Amino acid sequence: MSATTLEYTPAVERATRDVWQRVRHVIPDVEWPVHAPLIARINELKTERNAIILAHNYQVPEIFYGVADYTGDSLGLAQFGAGTDADVIVLCGVHFMAETAKILSPEKTVLIPDVRAGCSLAASITGKSLRAMKARYPGVPVVSYVNTTADVKAESDICCTSANAVQVVESLGVDRVIFTPDKYLGRYVASKTDVEIILWEGACEVHERFTGQELREYRQARPGLHIMAHPECPPDVLAEADFVGSTSGMIRHVADTRPAEVALITECSMASNVSVEFPDVKFTQPCNLCPHMQRITLPKVLRALETLSPQVEVPAEVAARAKVAVERMLAVGRSSSLS
């Protein structure tokens, strides 16, 4: 059924009423009759297809709360998908995330609603360029952020997230590592460890646009504002922040501290999503949108489920090597939780 033929009927209103009650303060009233029929039909199709929808923290609220079965950071999405008995995974995020889901769930059909949903970080490095860097530093292990393509993961010794990057680097027990691809996350890690960090000069096109001066201006305009920044931001931004952490770390920090007013210095859709869970907290929303995350829309999610396309595939040999790097990272987390 085409998205253009769906109507906002009384049955649709009843089926989506609970969702609307949750998101009504972050989605304009006039938009709901457009979103609701899509949400209702997508949720029906999930059952028909034995499908789950995984949505990154940067997805828009109508996807995040309307149709997602699991929400979180990129690695969490892939891990959740691997642990379910679903036949189909629809990854509402960017392409490297869908690749990671396929690496951990090779037997499942993995769909991404728009194949153009890329990532400036992932695009900044290739397997070939990483092999050339490894040749310049023979024997130095490679730590690659999960925000990389499968071929880069396959050339890496171990992966990391923004939450565990310091722990992963120190787990190797070496004096220096190659860290790819985010130069700002790498510099943040270098400030937290004695291990020498050899940087790749990649950056996130969303986070690198923030400046320390912007944060100082926010504080001047809003005394008492609590600022939380993602470690993909430049050093002057992190120096001005009250808290530095991953997307999941930010959510936990809001839950633990309940600041009166907070600014999340990251992709701005996340503030809308988090504000639904914390109505007592005022969210100031400096709005840098990720153009790639914004490519994922409800009509495209519906079309992906209807057609079971576009499917994400990773060559078996690449996937096997990339999975080793991801599993080494997961093993670090398991060992630390036992200690």
Q: Which region, left, alpha or beta, applies to residue 286 given φ > 0 means left and ψ of -120 to 50 means alpha? A: beta
CA 228, distance to chain mean position in Å, is 17
The beta strands (E) that lie in 8-75 are given as 51-56, 70-72
| Contacts made by residues 128-131, CB under 8 angstroms, sequence distance 24+ | 130/155, 130/156, 130/180, 130/200, 131/155
With bands split at pLDDT 50, 70 and 90, how would you rate the model's confidence at 339?
A: very low
pLDDT band, residue 4 (cuts 50/70/90): low
For 153, which DSSP code? Answer: H
Global pTM reads 0.92
**C-alpha 136, offset from chain centre:** 31
Rounded to whole angstroms, the Cα distance separating 143 from 256 reads 31
**pLDDT at res. 1:** 58
Q: pLDDT of 137-157, one tens digit each?
A: 999 999 999 999 999 999 999
CB 120 within 8 A of CB 313: no
pLDDT averaged over every residue in the chain: 94
Q: Are 131 and 155 in contact (CB under 8 A)?
A: yes
Flag whether pLDDT at 199 surpasses 70: yes
pLDDT of 195 higher than 50? yes
267: helix, strand or coil: strand
Q: Phi then psi for 44, rounded to 5 degrees?
A: -65, -45
User: What are the tens digits of pLDDT across the range 24-58?
Assistant: 999 999 999 999 999 999 999 999 999 999 999 99
Residue corresponding to tokens 């679903």: 86
Percent of the chain whose predicted confidence (pLDDT) is above 70: 97
Length of the chain: 339
Indicate whether 334 pLDDT > 80: no
Specify whether the CB–CB gap between 118 and 81 falls below 8 A.
no
pLDDT at 285 over 80: no
**Residues 314, 328: Cα–Cα separation, whole Å:** 19
Instruction: Summarize pLDDT for 169-179 with one digit per residue, the tens.
Output: 999 999 999 99
Domains delineated in the chain? 3-118+293-307 (3.40.50.10800), 121-203+315-338 (3.40.50.10800), 207-284 (3.40.50.10800)
The pLDDT of 77-93, averaged and rounded, is 94
Per-residue pLDDT, averaged over 270-276, amounts to 92
Residues 191, 244 contacting (CB under 8 angstroms):
no
Q: Does residue 59 surpass a pLDDT of 50?
A: yes
Residue 181 near residue 148 (C-beta atoms within 8 A): yes
